[in-house]
Structure 1
Amino acid sequence: MNAIANALVALVAALHVYFLVLEMFLWTKPLGLKTFRNSPEKAADSAVLAANQGLYNGFLAAGLVWGLFQGTPGFGFQIKTFFLLCVVVAGVYGALTVSRRILYVQAAPAAIALILLWLA
């Protein structure tokens, strides 16, 4: 069970690295425009804000990776729990303020990983 939980934590971290790339580097490119359903004009106007948001997603990913590789299991558990909770809260907030899709793409995988982490 612990291996499955850690695999899901790694998946959530990978998703946040992907979000970082989308928001920091591909925001105004065709993939970014399609993913976030933006017009080129809106994307250009919000590119700096998106890059900032991408950086925060990178911090979430880094925290999850830190938890996965922490040598002290109890501390690693605490780190993973904290960062997964941060992802869930950010996902719920994003779902309430931006798009319901964020609940499924960001918050749900983190919540499932958190539940499995606690069950492991």
Structure 2
Amino acid sequence: MQILTLFLVALVALEHLAIAGLEMFGKPDMQANAFDMPINFVKTKEAQTALSNQGIYNGLLGVLILMMILFFTGSTLKIILILMMSYIIIVAVYGAFTATKKILYIQGLPALISLIFVIIFYH
């Protein structure tokens, strides 16, 4: 079950890398649809700058999760993964209140499932 747990966590990391790609390099119509924003707003320079900036953070989060899986083991990795998955859940809840409810399901639910697996199955 530990391998399945790490696989689920890696999927969360890959999801954040994909979100970063969309935020940084996606076409405005794709971004508007994905983030429930008006297309006219998303096309503005300010919105594109904000999305790119947010993309850097999501990309870094994805890379950090993958690096943690590669460089740490045992109880150290378990603590790091609990903290990182908890952080993603908190951010998803905040995003659900401030941006779109989809964030709770798209980002929060996979992190919650991964967190449960880390707590129960990772030794």
TM-score where L is the length of structure 1: 0.89
Matched, 1:26 2:26: yes
Find the aligned partners of 2:9 and 2:88 in 1 and give their Cα distance. Answer: 11
Post-superposition CA distance 1:32-91 (Å, at most 9, x none): 233224444211220100111111111211221122112432222222222111111111
Greater alpha carbon shift after TM alignment, 41-50 vs 30-39: 30-39
Aligned counterparts, 1:58-97, within 5 A:
58-97=59-98
| CA displacement at 1:27 relative to structure 2 | 4.7
Which residue identity lines up with residue 113 of structure 1 in the other structure?
S
- Aligned amino acid, residue 44 of structure 1: K
CA distance in 1, matches of 2:97, 2:5: 27
- Give the root-mean-square deviation of aligned CA atoms: 1.5
Amino acid across the alignment from 1:15? E
Identity %: 30
What are structure 2's unaligned runs of at least 5 residues? Answer: none
Give the ranges of 4+ consecutive aligned residues of structure 1 lying more than 3 Å apart after TM superposition.
37-40
Please list, as runs of the form range in 1=range in 2, the aligned pairs for 1:98-117 lying within 5 A after superposition. Answer: 98-117=99-118
Q: TM-score, normalised by structure 2?
A: 0.87
Instruction: Evaluate the alpha carbon distance shift between residue 37 and residue 98 of structure 1 in structure 2; reply closer, same or farther with a 3 A threshold.
Output: closer
